[in-house]
Amino acid sequence: MPLPTGDRLAAAYLLGIADDAMVYAQRLGEWLTNAPQIEEDMALANISLDLLGQARGLYPHIGILDGTGRSEDDFAMLRDEREWRNVQLVEQSLAGFGFEMARLLWFSTYQAELYAAASASSDETFRGVAAKAVKEVAYHHDHARQWALRLGDGTEESHRRMQEALEAVLPFLAELFEDDPVSVAATEAGVGVLPSSLHDAVVARVTGIVEEATLALPNDSMWRSRGGRQGVHSAPMGYLLAEMQHLARSHRGATW
Amino acid sequence: MTRTHTAPAYVEAAVGAVPDPEIPVLTIADLGIVRSVVADESTGVVEVVVTPTYSGCPAMEAITAHVSHVCRSAGWEPRVTTRLSPAWTTDWMSEEGKDKLRRFGIAPPTHTAADGPVRVTLGRRLVECPRCGSTDTVELARFGSTACKALRRCEACRETFDEFKTL
């Protein structure tokens, strides 16, 4: 498939950013009433809401850029699995609190660097969403950092489980920093941020926290996820969409 | 048909006086989220530009609806737009707003250095208890009852209180 150009290229690039936020917002929302303490219910729901806000800021703009005029609901509720451009990290099912903190630590650090770099984007909406989000993401990052420290440098049990969590998220990290054709072209066009350019800063920040938490970054995993930015997803994605989209698809145009 | 509407200054003030739905002691002007209100007498249209406090702030829809209602009640046709850039900061909150927050029992945000990095170190800032004024307070939860608030406890009077997070 030929690469889109102009506004359509910007739309294709921004869709990946928006979908990461939307899908992770949905996953984090699942923690409500399931977190280990009520403060965590609140924290994860708050973070989810911030991410939802990022997606909502981008979707209508993408709908204008790609010429379809789609609304935020069209993007969130009426697209099938192969049309989603999020990395597979964010679609993975809940797998315990340690896993969530490991995922949030990597993802929030990635977003912090991405949104800081987006201040140089030629796309005004992307710059605006990023300038807003970068301050919120600093809170997300600090939340994950504190839990990584507390669990890593906690009891023998919490240390072991946090270490296992770092290993469990590892196969999904490469996708965050992969220079897919759309991101490369969007970077050349002045809109995007080259994913690989974020790698060193993100790894350095996470490594510092992991070491302070008396944990160790695991060695490279034997396999890695691929294809999220091209619409190829893992098994949990279908279930996530089914739950998220069920109402909107069963009752078209429902409002409340 | 000719429209009858109130004076531009009236509707402009009325828009700013709309209360925040989550923290009703604050007006949206106190919060600093109203970026501009321009009433055009020739068209009868009021252009209102608001900026959200947080990306996903669920109060935005209620605020937009209330602003539109206030304009219509004053005989004007509202046009409310949301602007993300430049991003809202708690530095835009008025001093009067901060006083109102304190009296309401919410510790106001502390000042941020312009363009500086957001400080997010736990428990290192001095936050005054809005009830007894002691700075001997600790953070209980970074994420409180709304996106913009954290939960703290005063070690002097032992009361818990909300803090408006510095952003």
Sole residue written with tokens 């947080």: B54
* pLDDT score, position A2: 82
Give CA angle at B137 (B135, B140), nearest 5°: 155
Query: What's the average model confidence in pLDDT over A102-126?
Result: 97
Query: What's the average model confidence in pLDDT over A118-138?
Result: 95
Query: What's the average model confidence in pLDDT over A39-52?
Result: 95
- With 50 as the cut, is the pLDDT of residue B113 above it? no
Which residues of chain B lie closer than 8 angstroms to A47, CB-CB?
143
Residue of B nearest to A131 (CA): B87
Q: Which of B84, B91, B122, B151 to mutate to test the interface with A (most CBs of A within 10 A)?
A: B84
- With 70 as the cut, is the pLDDT of residue B111 above it? no
Q: Which candidate, A96, A92, A2, A112, places its Cα nearest to that of A47?
A: A112
> Helical H runs in chain A?
6-29, 38-65, 72-77, 97-117, 124-152, 156-169, 181-188, 199-212, 235-250
Residue-wise pLDDT tens digits, A71-86 = 999 999 999 999 999 9
**What ipTM did this prediction achieve?**
0.78
Q: B6-34 burial, b for 16+ CB within 10 Å, e for fewer?
A: eebeebbebbbebebbbbeebbbbbbbbb
* Model confidence, pTM: 0.90
Residue-wise pLDDT tens digits, B3-62 = 678 898 999 999 999 999 988 999 999 999 999 999 999 999 999 999 988 888 888 889
Q: Which of A17, A31, A38, A42 to mutate to test the interface with B (most CBs of B within 10 A)?
A: A42
Q: Do A142 and B142 touch (CB under 8 A)?
A: yes
Which residues of chain B lie closer than 8 angstroms to A212, CB-CB?
none
Per-residue confidence at B116, pLDDT binned at 50, 70, 90?
Answer: very low
Which residues of chain B lie closer than 8 angstroms to A131, CB-CB?
84-87
Residue A107, min C-alpha distance to chain B (Å):
17
- With 60 as the cut, is the pLDDT of residue A135 above it? yes
Nearest to B120 among A47, A128, A142 (CB): A142
Q: Do A53 and B85 touch (CB under 8 A)?
A: no
Residue A23, min C-alpha distance to chain B (Å):
14
Query: What's the average model confidence in pLDDT over A43-53?
Result: 96
A33 by Cβ neighbours in 10 Å (0-12 / 13-18 / 19+) ranks as: exposed
Nearest to B142 among A51, A53, A139 (CB): A139
Residue A138, min C-alpha distance to chain B (Å):
7
B143 touches chain A (CB under 8 A): yes
Per-residue confidence at A132, pLDDT binned at 50, 70, 90?
Answer: very high
In what helix (H) or strand (E) does residue A96 lie, and over which residues does it extend? none
How many whole angstroms separate alpha carbon A229 and alpha carbon A175?
Answer: 8
Per-residue confidence at B122, pLDDT binned at 50, 70, 90?
Answer: very low
How many whole angstroms separate alpha carbon B111 and alpha carbon B146?
Answer: 20
A135 touches chain B (CB under 8 A): yes
- With 50 as the cut, is the pLDDT of residue B114 above it? no
Count the Cβ atoms, other than its own, within 10 Å of residue B36: 12
Query: What's the average model confidence in pLDDT over A36-49?
Result: 94
* pLDDT score, position B125: 73
A122 touches chain B (CB under 8 A): no
Per-residue confidence at B2, pLDDT binned at 50, 70, 90?
Answer: low
A77 by Cβ neighbours in 10 Å (0-12 / 13-18 / 19+) ranks as: middle
- With 90 as the cut, is the pLDDT of residue B118 above it? no
Q: Which of B55, B119, B140 to mutate to test the interface with A (most CBs of A within 10 A)?
A: B55
Residue of A nearest to B167 (CA): A135
Residue-wise pLDDT tens digits, B140-154 = 988 888 888 999 999
Do strands B149-154 and B137-141 pair parallel, antiparallel, or not at all (unpaired)? antiparallel
Tell me A2's DSSP state: P
Q: Which candidate, B45, B82, B148, places its Cα nearest to that of A125?
A: B82
Nearest to A49 among B144, B147, B167 (CB): B147
A249 touches chain B (CB under 8 A): no
